[in-house]
Amino acid sequence: MDHLYSIVDRKSLALRGLVAVIFGVLALVATGFVLDFLVYVFGFFAIISGILTAGIGLSSEKTELPPWLLVPTGVLSILVGIFALVTPLIVAMAITIFIAAWALITGVTDLGLAVSHKKMHHRILLAVSGIIGVLFAIILVITPVFGTYALVMVLGIYAIAAGFVSIFLGLSLGKEKAVIEVQTSL
Protein backbone atom coordinates (compact mmCIF):
# COMPACT_ATOMS: atom_id res chain seq x y z
CA MET A 1 0.00 0.00 0.00
CA ASP A 2 1.45 3.38 -1.00
CA HIS A 3 1.28 6.58 0.99
CA LEU A 4 0.74 10.01 -0.49
CA TYR A 5 1.60 13.09 1.50
CA SER A 6 0.23 16.55 0.95
CA ILE A 7 1.37 19.69 2.72
CA VAL A 8 -1.42 22.20 3.16
CA ASP A 9 -0.92 25.69 4.53
CA ARG A 10 -3.41 27.61 6.62
CA LYS A 11 -4.47 29.98 3.85
CA SER A 12 -5.41 27.18 1.46
CA LEU A 13 -7.33 25.35 4.20
CA ALA A 14 -9.24 28.48 5.13
CA LEU A 15 -9.91 29.37 1.49
CA ARG A 16 -11.11 25.86 0.72
CA GLY A 17 -13.40 26.09 3.74
CA LEU A 18 -14.77 29.44 2.63
CA VAL A 19 -15.53 28.09 -0.85
CA ALA A 20 -17.25 25.05 0.70
CA VAL A 21 -19.38 27.27 2.96
CA ILE A 22 -20.38 29.48 0.01
CA PHE A 23 -21.29 26.39 -2.03
CA GLY A 24 -23.24 24.97 0.91
CA VAL A 25 -25.21 28.17 1.43
CA LEU A 26 -25.97 28.30 -2.31
CA ALA A 27 -27.13 24.66 -2.19
CA LEU A 28 -29.56 25.54 0.60
CA VAL A 29 -30.78 28.87 -0.79
CA ALA A 30 -30.70 28.18 -4.53
CA THR A 31 -31.15 24.40 -4.61
CA GLY A 32 -32.49 24.31 -8.18
CA PHE A 33 -29.58 26.37 -9.48
CA VAL A 34 -27.00 24.14 -7.79
CA LEU A 35 -28.77 21.00 -9.01
CA ASP A 36 -28.76 22.28 -12.58
CA PHE A 37 -25.13 23.36 -12.23
CA LEU A 38 -24.04 19.90 -11.05
CA VAL A 39 -25.92 18.17 -13.85
CA TYR A 40 -24.51 20.61 -16.43
CA VAL A 41 -20.97 19.98 -15.16
CA PHE A 42 -21.63 16.25 -15.54
CA GLY A 43 -23.08 16.80 -19.03
CA PHE A 44 -20.10 18.82 -20.24
CA PHE A 45 -17.70 16.33 -18.68
CA ALA A 46 -19.45 13.41 -20.43
CA ILE A 47 -19.33 15.22 -23.79
CA ILE A 48 -15.65 16.13 -23.48
CA SER A 49 -14.76 12.65 -22.27
CA GLY A 50 -16.74 11.13 -25.14
CA ILE A 51 -15.03 13.31 -27.74
CA LEU A 52 -11.61 12.36 -26.39
CA THR A 53 -12.47 8.66 -26.16
CA ALA A 54 -13.90 8.52 -29.70
CA GLY A 55 -10.97 10.59 -30.98
CA ILE A 56 -8.47 8.16 -29.50
CA GLY A 57 -10.39 5.28 -31.04
CA LEU A 58 -10.40 6.91 -34.48
CA SER A 59 -6.86 8.26 -34.56
CA SER A 60 -4.64 5.94 -32.60
CA GLU A 61 -3.42 2.63 -33.87
CA LYS A 62 -1.20 2.04 -30.87
CA THR A 63 -3.85 1.91 -28.18
CA GLU A 64 -4.31 -1.28 -26.21
CA LEU A 65 -8.07 -1.09 -26.57
CA PRO A 66 -9.63 -1.77 -29.96
CA PRO A 67 -11.21 1.15 -31.86
CA TRP A 68 -14.50 -0.76 -32.14
CA LEU A 69 -14.77 -0.43 -28.36
CA LEU A 70 -13.55 3.15 -27.97
CA VAL A 71 -15.62 4.81 -30.70
CA PRO A 72 -19.06 3.54 -29.56
CA THR A 73 -18.15 4.26 -25.94
CA GLY A 74 -17.20 7.81 -26.89
CA VAL A 75 -20.36 8.33 -28.93
CA LEU A 76 -22.51 6.97 -26.08
CA SER A 77 -20.77 9.32 -23.64
CA ILE A 78 -21.47 12.27 -25.96
CA LEU A 79 -25.14 11.30 -26.21
CA VAL A 80 -25.45 10.93 -22.42
CA GLY A 81 -23.85 14.35 -22.00
CA ILE A 82 -26.24 15.95 -24.48
CA PHE A 83 -29.18 14.25 -22.76
CA ALA A 84 -28.01 15.64 -19.41
CA LEU A 85 -27.78 19.17 -20.85
CA VAL A 86 -31.20 18.98 -22.48
CA THR A 87 -33.05 17.28 -19.59
CA PRO A 88 -31.19 18.07 -16.35
CA LEU A 89 -34.10 17.27 -14.03
CA ILE A 90 -34.63 13.82 -15.56
CA VAL A 91 -30.93 13.02 -15.17
CA ALA A 92 -30.95 14.30 -11.58
CA MET A 93 -34.00 12.15 -10.79
CA ALA A 94 -32.32 9.12 -12.40
CA ILE A 95 -29.30 9.63 -10.15
CA THR A 96 -31.68 9.91 -7.20
CA ILE A 97 -33.32 6.60 -8.16
CA PHE A 98 -29.87 4.94 -8.29
CA ILE A 99 -29.13 6.32 -4.83
CA ALA A 100 -32.52 5.00 -3.67
CA ALA A 101 -31.69 1.55 -5.04
CA TRP A 102 -28.35 1.60 -3.23
CA ALA A 103 -30.02 2.71 0.03
CA LEU A 104 -32.64 -0.04 -0.30
CA ILE A 105 -30.05 -2.76 -0.96
CA THR A 106 -27.79 -1.68 1.92
CA GLY A 107 -30.79 -1.20 4.22
CA VAL A 108 -32.16 -4.68 3.54
CA THR A 109 -28.65 -6.13 3.93
CA ASP A 110 -28.19 -4.38 7.29
CA LEU A 111 -31.58 -5.65 8.47
CA GLY A 112 -30.73 -9.17 7.31
CA LEU A 113 -27.41 -9.11 9.15
CA ALA A 114 -29.05 -7.77 12.31
CA VAL A 115 -31.67 -10.53 12.29
CA SER A 116 -29.40 -13.42 11.28
CA HIS A 117 -26.42 -12.76 13.55
CA LYS A 118 -27.80 -13.30 17.04
CA LYS A 119 -24.40 -12.97 18.74
CA MET A 120 -23.36 -9.76 17.00
CA HIS A 121 -22.76 -6.86 19.35
CA HIS A 122 -24.84 -3.75 18.73
CA ARG A 123 -27.07 -5.46 16.22
CA ILE A 124 -29.87 -3.09 17.23
CA LEU A 125 -27.82 -0.27 15.71
CA LEU A 126 -27.43 -2.29 12.53
CA ALA A 127 -31.20 -2.85 12.46
CA VAL A 128 -31.85 0.88 12.96
CA SER A 129 -29.39 1.65 10.15
CA GLY A 130 -31.23 -0.81 7.91
CA ILE A 131 -34.63 0.69 8.72
CA ILE A 132 -33.33 4.20 8.01
CA GLY A 133 -31.88 3.02 4.68
CA VAL A 134 -35.14 1.37 3.61
CA LEU A 135 -37.23 4.39 4.66
CA PHE A 136 -34.83 6.74 2.85
CA ALA A 137 -35.14 4.64 -0.31
CA ILE A 138 -38.94 4.63 -0.10
CA ILE A 139 -39.04 8.42 0.33
CA LEU A 140 -36.72 8.92 -2.66
CA VAL A 141 -38.79 6.61 -4.88
CA ILE A 142 -42.17 8.05 -3.86
CA THR A 143 -41.04 11.67 -4.27
CA PRO A 144 -38.08 11.67 -6.66
CA VAL A 145 -38.17 15.42 -7.36
CA PHE A 146 -38.31 16.25 -3.65
CA GLY A 147 -35.66 13.60 -3.03
CA THR A 148 -33.38 15.14 -5.64
CA TYR A 149 -33.67 18.57 -4.07
CA ALA A 150 -33.26 17.05 -0.60
CA LEU A 151 -30.00 15.38 -1.68
CA VAL A 152 -28.66 18.74 -2.87
CA MET A 153 -29.67 20.29 0.46
CA VAL A 154 -27.91 17.50 2.38
CA LEU A 155 -24.85 18.12 0.21
CA GLY A 156 -25.12 21.80 1.13
CA ILE A 157 -25.31 21.05 4.85
CA TYR A 158 -22.29 18.77 4.54
CA ALA A 159 -20.36 21.44 2.61
CA ILE A 160 -21.11 24.06 5.25
CA ALA A 161 -20.04 21.77 8.11
CA ALA A 162 -16.87 20.63 6.33
CA GLY A 163 -16.17 24.21 5.29
CA PHE A 164 -16.34 25.52 8.85
CA VAL A 165 -14.05 22.70 10.01
CA SER A 166 -11.58 23.59 7.26
CA ILE A 167 -11.75 27.31 8.13
CA PHE A 168 -11.21 26.50 11.82
CA LEU A 169 -8.23 24.27 10.98
CA GLY A 170 -6.78 26.93 8.71
CA LEU A 171 -7.10 29.64 11.33
CA SER A 172 -5.77 27.45 14.14
CA LEU A 173 -2.63 26.29 12.33
CA GLY A 174 -0.74 29.52 12.80
CA LYS A 175 2.51 29.34 10.84
CA GLU A 176 2.54 25.55 10.85
CA LYS A 177 1.74 23.46 7.83
CA ALA A 178 -0.54 20.44 7.97
CA VAL A 179 0.75 17.19 6.54
CA ILE A 180 -2.07 15.00 5.29
CA GLU A 181 -1.33 11.32 4.68
CA VAL A 182 -3.48 9.33 2.29
CA GLN A 183 -3.11 5.59 1.77
CA THR A 184 -3.63 4.30 -1.72
CA SER A 185 -3.96 0.79 -3.02
CA LEU A 186 -2.07 1.45 -6.23
* Chain centroid to CA 154: 12
pTM, entire model: 0.67
- Are 148 and 35 in contact by the 8 Å Cβ rule? The answer is yes
| Residues 28-81: tens digit of each pLDDT | 999 999 999 999 999 999 999 999 989 888 886 666 767 788 889 999 999 999
The pLDDT of residue 176 is above 70: no
Domain positions in the chain are: 2-36+88-184
